[in-house]
Amino acid sequence: MSAQAPRSTALHTDRYELTMLDAALRDGTAQRRCVFELFGRRLSGGRRFGVVAGTGRLLSLIQDFRFGDDELRFLRDGRVVDAATLEFLAGYRFSGSITGYQEGELYFPGSPILTIEGTFAEAVVLETLALSVLNHDSAIATAAARMSIAAGDRPLSEMGSRRAGEESAVAAARAAYITGFGATSNLEAGRRWGIPTMGTAAHAWTLLHDSEEDAFRSQIAALGVDTTLLIDTYDIHEGVETAVRVAGTSLGGVRIDSGDLPTMASQVREHLDALGATATKITVTSDLDEFAIAALAASPVDSYGVGTSVVTGSGTPTAGMVYKLVARQASDGSWVAVAKSSTEKSSKGGRKAAFRTLKNGIATSEVVAISDGFEQVDTPAEHPGARPLQVQLVLDGQADAAFQGPAGVEVARAHHARVREELPVRGLALSRSDPAITTVFVNAKP
Amino acid sequence: MSAQAPRSTALHTDRYELTMLDAALRDGTAQRRCVFELFGRRLSGGRRFGVVAGTGRLLSLIQDFRFGDDELRFLRDGRVVDAATLEFLAGYRFSGSITGYQEGELYFPGSPILTIEGTFAEAVVLETLALSVLNHDSAIATAAARMSIAAGDRPLSEMGSRRAGEESAVAAARAAYITGFGATSNLEAGRRWGIPTMGTAAHAWTLLHDSEEDAFRSQIAALGVDTTLLIDTYDIHEGVETAVRVAGTSLGGVRIDSGDLPTMASQVREHLDALGATATKITVTSDLDEFAIAALAASPVDSYGVGTSVVTGSGTPTAGMVYKLVARQASDGSWVAVAKSSTEKSSKGGRKAAFRTLKNGIATSEVVAISDGFEQVDTPAEHPGARPLQVQLVLDGQADAAFQGPAGVEVARAHHARVREELPVRGLALSRSDPAITTVFVNAKP
């Protein structure tokens, strides 16, 4: 039993992708060059910006998108596809190219977050995997970034694993870290992504012992006086008394996990100070979200632990991105921009290049230049200093290692910290509103 | 690369569980017999009932909760625990017992969904894994059950994988199937859990081709006239015309993925009938939730495909269950009921036995009998016909195979269908309200 063995990700796929592939192999369209785009039509939940996350995970998962014997047997036994398609899948390896927003980057409605180019056959099958990863991780990252803004300089820890599916919890810890959280309670996130882990004791620890004092004494014996004691199992006032009596005034910290937090924090701070434990820190962890964090700005709180709300996207558990065919080659080799044109779900066909215009270092607009299908788009002449937003993530099937693994997480975290500085002040507010900047679509000139 | 190789689940654990274990091994409390309980204080989202899901998954994941070389190395290198704890973990295997609500069962506030008995050491470390699985899967199952009620006899398919983390998507498909969905788009859910899969084509299929007619013709060549054609890529009226022209009047179905669905469904039905395709079915798939499904009850719709709302729990993405120490043995071997007693998060200590009282087959209350720690609790004398709600899931470390794997999914699905018949009429309504039945706590007599 090893945690490291790669599992095939090939069946994290909606069946219709393989039925389309099957039919396209029959009618010859499977080999048409295509450009798919992953983007969001709007920012869910009235958010003022979104944060791209999951990119580094996705690059690795695409490497593991291989159809082995087990996968092929399932497809054959279930008659999902025919023999020719099984043969194609047995040799499948994505050999196309992907450009996109760097992980940690901000995005806005219509931002071309990923552009996937390859044959129809090789690109259509990645739809579900790409959307699962980006929609989940970006929703968490966006919520976490708002919490990070609300917390200011105070450290934030993610501790919501128990409120998310066991694998999504690991991804959530990663997304929160990229957007400014400093640590996670989730050990698998520590192992897999190198994220600092934290945690001391739960209420069960106190309840296990014959008295709160026994529990505190034992915890300090094991972890030292620098540990954080959970003081609200019984009476919180007595909890503070006991904590300082047992640990002395150099106790590292106390944690409050219930009650009206502004009131509790003030009372506990006064109490600790009166007992001489003026350097003992206060962590609060009860049902926090970005609004509760903001409401505690004037309270004597030293750090926040956030659970449910960050791992569930604080009311917006999915980012609502879609994966659409936007351009394809015609029989004569020319490129054709394509888009669904009926009703409210219409989108803009054509390959996109994206730039962020800045004034004095502050973002002023998202410029998206649309072409039919040609490869390179220069910075639009009318926006000479605009920052290009897309980087090469995969080139001819080779994913850039710099964006993957624990090192990739650090790259994304640093990138996010840098680009968040570009947000205009109105982008920092927590209330529901329009996007902080407007997306402007222009026609690219080849 | 194999999808079947079990991965260790041991680090899907919050760090504090291992720091508590570490300290408990030092002070001797690690070997105290304990009873932990997994329960929900309330039904999130104003739901009238909850559905337990994830149990069968959890039983397998507990088997894989083993600390191999990789896990131990991470804990040692990160100085998470000391050498004695590493040695304990190297030999860890859960040898305790678990009783609980059968998967698919309904639950209410305070229902003792799982009761975990073992030493503190072996039971405390399962907190995060158990909560991750049950909180996620039960939230999805509860939302899905409401959709199933709203859909009545019309088939429902789950197709939300792209809006959930890639592994949570598989679990969501499973939970939806248990509560009445008939199929999923997710192939991995088909492979892993034996759930029927479905799907034909996306808008990309039509856009790939030189015309909608080419796309339809090719799809029918590959999948036969019994397939479902997606008719809203361009003009939906023309889409219907083209579909029937190409497939004939024995076309299996059409799918509508946009627009005002009651209006579109009526127009498309009339149009199909006028063209003679009176047996061609209509599937709708655009942003459906339980309310939208209910609003379509009088529309000529034959089946529903549900995406985002089911995999995100339709506004309630996590069930809010907790895992609490409720009883432990004292130094003299006697049992002590324990509970956090401060503020609003207080809970009821003691081992629980649960029964559902019925009148003419309809549930009237949830009776929870509390004892300090003794093993068996008989049906309360004052409720002679009450249905016992707990079953043995794990006995002395051996999980019951009947609840696991694809067969366990079918057992859960059948159980859910049966017990949902017990819901009083007020439990079937979709609006926010109090639980359909009241939970009554009584003192058990040994």
> Which pLDDT value is given to residue A2?
43
Question: In chain B, where does the domain assigned CATH 3.20.20.70 lie?
Answer: 162-311
Query: Lowest mean pLDDT: which of A226-230, A250-254, A343-347, B33-37?
Result: A343-347
Torsional sign, CA B359, B365, B366, B370: negative
The residues, any chain, with a CB within 8 Å of residue A173's CB and separated by 6 or more, are A158, A161, A184, A185, A186, A189, A193, A195
Nearest CB partner across the interface for A3, out of B16, B71, B124: B71
Pick the CATH number of A15-140+316-443 from 2.40.50.140, 3.40.50.300, 3.20.140.10, 3.30.465.10: 3.20.140.10
Q: pLDDT tier at B379 (50, 70, 90 boundaries)? A: confident
CA distances from A107 to A50, A51, A423, B316 (A): 5, 6, 11, 26
Q: Show the CA angle centred on residue B32, arms to residues A245 and B26, nearest 5°.
A: 55
Query: What count of other Cβ atoms lies within 10 Å of the Cβ of residue A385?
Result: 9
Q: In which residue are the tokens 């709300």 written?
A: A309
Using a CB-CB cut-off of 8 Å, the residues of chain A touching B203 are 324-325, 340
Helix/strand/coil percent split, chain B, to 5: 40, 20, 40
Kindly tell me if the per-residue pLDDT of A3 is higher than 70: no
Residues of A in contact with B8 (CB under 8 A): 1-3
Cα(A76)–Cα(B171) distance, integer angstroms: 23
Mean pLDDT of A201-211: 95
**Contact residues for A63 (Cβ-Cβ < 8 A; gap 6+):** A6, A399
pLDDT confidence bin for B403, thresholds 50/70/90 = very high
Which residues 168-227 of chain B have a CB within 8 Å of chain A?
168-171, 185-188, 190-191, 197-205, 207-210, 218-219, 221-223
**Banded model confidence at residue B5, pLDDT cuts 50, 70, 90:** low
* Residue A351, strand partner residues: A371
- Count the Cβ atoms, other than its own, within 10 Å of residue B59: 22
Q: B92: how many CB neighbours lie within 10 A of its CB? A: 17
List chain B residues with CB under 8 Å of A166: 9, 12, 61, 129, 132-133, 136, 167
* pLDDT-based confidence at residue B385 (cuts at 50, 70, 90): confident
Q: Provide the 8-state DSSP code for A318.
A: S
Distance from CA of A362 to the nearest CA of B (A): 32
A1 has a pLDDT exceeding 60: no
Q: Could you tell me what percent of chain B has a pLDDT over 90?
A: 89
Share of chain B above pLDDT 70, in %: 96
Q: What is the mean pLDDT of residues A310-320?
A: 97
Integer angstrom CA distances of residue A356 from A48, A361, A384: 15, 10, 11
Query: Once rounded to an integer, what is the mean pLDDT over residues A102-116?
Result: 98
Which of A212, A205, A202 shows the shortest CA–CA distance to A239? A212
Give the least confident one: A26-30, A395-399, B344-348.
B344-348
Q: How far apart are CA A199 and CA A184, in angstroms?
A: 8
Judged by a CB distance cut-off of 8 A, whether residue A154 touches chain B is no
Q: Are B293 and B151 in contact (CB under 8 A)?
A: yes
B426 pLDDT higher than 80: yes
How many whole angstroms separate alpha carbon A203 and alpha carbon B325? 8
Task: Report the distance separating Cα A78 and Cα A14, nearest Å.
Answer: 14
List, for residues A131-180, the tens digit of each pLDDT value.
999 999 999 999 999 999 999 999 999 999 999 999 999 999 999 999 99
E strand intervals along A220-331:
228-230, 253-256, 281-284, 303-306, 321-329
User: Is A441's Cβ below 8 Å from some Cβ in B?
Assistant: no
Does residue A23 sit at the B interface (CB-CB below 8 Å)? Answer: yes
For residue B282, the cross-strand partners are: B254
Q: So what's the architecture of B162-311 in CATH?
A: Alpha-Beta Barrel (3.20)
Q: Is A400 on the interface with B (CB under 8 A)?
A: no
Say if the Cβ atoms of B235 and A166 lie within 8 Å: no
CA neighbours within 13 Å on the CB side: how many for B218? 24
Cβ of B3 and A4 within 8 Å?
no
CB atoms within 10 A of CB A347: 17
Torsion of CA A241, B332, B322, A160, to 10 degrees: 60
Token pair listed for B336: 């002590």
CATH class of the region A200-301 = alpha beta
Query: Got the DSSP string for B6-46?
Result: PPP-TTSSBHHHHHHHHHHHHHTGGGSEEEEEEEESS-GGG
Based on its alpha-carbon atoms, the radius of gyration of chain B, rounded to whole angstroms, reads 25
Contacting residues of B for A14, CB less than 8 Å apart: 159, 161-162, 185-187, 199
Q: Do A5 and B5 touch (CB under 8 A)?
A: yes
Give yes or no for a contact between B155 and B303, defined as CB atoms under 8 angstroms apart. Answer: yes
Q: Which band of pLDDT confidence, cut at 50, 70 and 90, is reported for residue B431?
A: very high
In chain A, the percentage of residues whose pLDDT exceeds 70 is 96
* Residue contact B23–A219, C-beta within 8 A: yes
Q: What are phi and psi of A51, to 5 degrees?
A: -120, 125
Q: Residues 63 to 92 of B: which have CB under 8 A from any A CB? A: 64, 66, 68, 70-71, 74-75, 78, 80
CB–CB of A234 and B9 under 8 A?
no
Q: Which residue intervals of chain A bear CATH 3.20.20.70?
A: 200-301
- What is the distance between the alpha carbons of residues A179 and A52, in angstroms, rounded to a whole number? 10
pLDDT level of residue B304 (50, 70, 90 thresholds): very high
Q: What rounded mean pLDDT belongs to chain A? A: 94
Q: State pTM to two decimals.
A: 0.97
Q: Report the C-alpha gap between A161 and A171 in whole angstroms.
A: 10
Mean pLDDT of B162-186: 98
Rounded to a whole number of angstroms, the distance from the CA of A359 to the nearest CA of chain B is 35
Q: What is the mean pLDDT of residues A234-246?
A: 97
> Which residues of chain A lie closer than 8 angstroms to B168, CB-CB?
136, 164-165, 167-168
Mean pLDDT computed over every residue of chain B: 94
In the prediction, which pLDDT does A163 show? Answer: 98
Kindly report, residue by residue over B221-277, the tens digit of the pLDDT.
999 999 999 999 999 999 999 999 999 999 999 999 999 999 999 999 999 999 999
pLDDT tens digits for B196-218?
A: 999 999 999 999 999 999 999 99
Tell whether A41 lies on the interface with B, counting CB pairs under 8 A: no
Chain B residues whose beta carbon lies within 8 Å of the beta carbon of residue A133: 165-166
pLDDT at A407: 98
pLDDT in tens, B329-338: 998 889 999 9
Q: Which residue's entry shows tokens 């051996």?
A: B398
Closest Cβ opposite residue B167 in set A128, A167, A343: A167
**Res A379: pLDDT:** 76
Candidates A6, A198, A208; nearest CB to B1: A6
CB contact under 8 A, A344 and B259: yes
Q: What is the pLDDT of residues B280-296, one digit of tens each?
A: 999 999 899 999 999 99
Q: Produce one character per residue of B123-162: b if its CB has 16 or more CB atoms within 10 Å, e if not.
A: bbbbbbbbbbbbbbbbbbbbbbbbbbbbbeebbbbbbbbb
Give the model's pLDDT for residue B179. 98
> How would you class A105 by CB atoms within 10 Å of its CB: exposed for 0-12, middle for 13-18, buried for 19 or more?
buried
CA–CA separation, B423 vs B434, rounded Å? 14
Which pLDDT belongs to residue A36?
97
CATH 3.20.140.10 in chain B, residue ranges: 15-140+316-443
Across the interface, which of A6, A191, A312 has its CB nearest the CB of B11? A191
Torsion of CA B366, B371, B375, B381, to 10 degrees: -50
Contact A128 B161 (CB under 8 A): yes
What pLDDT band is residue A377 in, cutting at 50, 70 and 90?
low
